Amino acid sequence: QAQLAESGGGLVQSGRSLRLSCRGSGFTLEYNTIGWFRQTPGKEREVVACISSSDSSTYYADSVKGRFTISRDNAKNTVYLQMNSLKPEGSAVYCCGADIEAMGISRLSSEYSFWGQGAQGTVSS
């Protein structure tokens, strides 16, 4: 059974960093487009970053561009989200998802096939 599991969330001060991990089991992440999304209470899930299966091209939301980096370690079947210069408005539950049909970048949560359980990231001011 294909599954995703996030880890690495926590509480940090504004301006500091967190690295989230998204480990796959039961399938190979390298062959799937993987996206990181975040959600806060009362708001829809929004895309943060995405890495494509076809050519490892990446996409970043404007709000995180230049501060966040998405990467993949095929040997560990894991995708990472390095988050630097964090801001309090970045506090959210961060989830990774797999779009098993996409070849390129996928920015809509409705296109994703399955998700991990989520990891809470909290940034204090």
For 46-82, write each residue's pLDDT tens digit: 999 999 998 889 999 999 999 999 999 999 999 999 9
pLDDT bucket at 103, cuts 50 / 70 / 90: confident
**CA-to-CA dists, residue 31 to 53, 65, 100, angstroms:** 5, 25, 8
Give the pairing type, strands 18-25 and 3-7: antiparallel
The answer to whether 31 and 77 are in contact (CB under 8 A) is: no
Closest-CA residue to 63 (of 35, 32, 37): 37
Average pLDDT of the residues in 94-102: 94
* Confidence tier at 24 by pLDDT (50, 70, 90): very high
Is residue 2 within 8 Å of residue 25, measured between CB atoms? yes
Looking at every residue in the chain, the average pLDDT score rounds to 96
Beta-bridge mates of residue 114: 98
